[in-house]
Amino acid sequence: MTAKATTEATWEQDVLQAEGPVLVDFWAAWCGPCRMVSPILDEIQSEHSEKLTVLKLNVDENPNLAMKYQITSIPAMKVFQGGEVKTTIIGAKPKFALEQDLAAFIG
Amino acid sequence: MRQVIIIGSGPAGFTAAIYAARANLQPLLIASSVEVGGELTKTTDVENFPGFPEGIQGPDLMVKLQEQAEKFGTEVVYDDVVSLELDGPVKKVVLGTGAEHEASAVIYATGSAYRKLGIEGEERLSGHGVSWCATCDGFFFREKAIAVVGGGDSAMEEATFLTRFASKVYVIHRKDTLRASKIMQERAFADPKIEFIWNSEVDEILGEFETTGVRLRSTVDGSTRELDLQGVFVAIGNDPRTHLVHDKLELTPEGTIWVDGRSSRTSQPGVFAAGDVIDPTYRQAATAAGSGVVAALDVEHFLAGLADAVPVAAAAN
């Protein structure tokens, strides 16, 4: 199971109202490091689908959310729980480093 | 056991792979997990790589180099090297996933990493207005005032690129002349959105949760002043990436890996180095590619020597 996309239209339901933790990957097609980290996030989603939901938000198509969460550097990954940001990870990282950063949610 | 493992996926690594693969050495290339293609994947137009009169996008050039290396039999692994054993006849490469690979020869072509300013606010505001990648992050600075710190080609390229988004781009440089090539300088000078701030260095990046400005210090009289802006792009150069080998291979006073004369031979037999990691001076895509050729040919020669040496050793026994 690869990570699905979310949008401004479905944000409330997908992310803010979600029951468990949701990792949102803020990305864009023109961002090289985003393309590198994308398949790693797919792997994390498929390996931990019971604990964590991974969603991808295209900042080009959803600029209002990028602005609302003050994104100035991508890839930016934020974990939401109960509608609040619990963790922010900025920049592409190897899988083992991401797993460490996400240990509180997938450990 | 492999004949050769290449570490690095920039122009040096992939060019070494093209030559090694065509010499039937079936190279294994460790490309890293999130920095495949290296430095050039963060640039836009590359106008000085020979053979592309119209210019080529940095990421496209790297895809082509990889295709060419794979076409001749290079195997590419998307993982990071975490440790190395380079002494002795069998070289061992350990990857982030725990996989281990062995080879008779290693080509080390890890390039260089962005240099940091090392000032207050830089770490804290990284990703909150402080960036090392204009092509990734310029988009978020629409109609905002930003600064590029540095005076080389990459600083000029970033400044020019960022005028697509920003309302104002300050270029902050500690001297009153630029290191950048003439054509890049002229392009920046001609841009109405770019303003040069000479003889100044950034003392501190200001802002609690997001960047609100910088404190500048004059390199002439030491006076300071504050400048309001929302973004800082750091382009003050690169440092060779030697952290995996600094205690295993001899380094030069500049911090690059020492190589013997014009060859790629390091202080450790069977270990060769190429590209920015050995080059304190030129650091171009084309010079890195040429350096990769040297390394592949040196490896070929080295392996041929090993093959010749076997019957001699056998005869001695």
Contact state of B127 with A32 under an 8 Å Cβ cutoff: no
Which of B63, B140, B34 is closest to A26 using CA atoms?
Answer: B140
Same fold for the pair B2-113+238-316 and B130-234? yes
Domain locations in chain B as residue ranges: 2-113+238-316, 130-234
pLDDT digits (tens, 9 = 90+) for A32-66: 889 889 999 999 999 999 999 999 999 999 999 99
Contact state of A93 with B96 under an 8 Å Cβ cutoff: no
CB-based contact, A91 to chain B, within 8 Å? yes
Domain locations in chain A as residue ranges: 20-101
Quote the pLDDT of residue B315.
47
Query: pTM for the full model?
Result: 0.86
What average pLDDT does the segment A84-107 reach?
A: 93
Residue ranges, chain B, pLDDT below 50? 313, 315-317
pLDDT digits (tens, 9 = 90+) for B234-264: 999 899 999 999 999 999 999 999 999 999 9
Quote the pLDDT of residue A96.
87
B96 interaction partners in chain A (CB closer than 8 Å):
94-96
pLDDT digits (tens, 9 = 90+) for B179-200: 999 999 999 999 999 999 999 9
Contact state of A73 with B135 under an 8 Å Cβ cutoff: no
ω into residue B240 within 30 of 0, thus cis? no
ipTM: 0.82
Q: Which candidate in A3, A22, A23, A34 is catalytic? A: A34
Give yes or no: B136 in active site: yes
The CATH architecture of the domain made up of B2-113+238-316 is 3-Layer(bba) Sandwich (3.50)
Q: Residues of chain B whose C-beta is under 8 A from some C-beta in A?
A: 32-37, 41-42, 59, 79-80, 96-97, 126-129, 131, 133, 135-137, 139-141, 210, 231
Superfamily of domain B130-234: FAD/NAD(P)-binding domain (3.50.50.60)
* A20-101 CATH fold: Glutaredoxin (3.40.30)
Quote the pLDDT of residue B177.
96
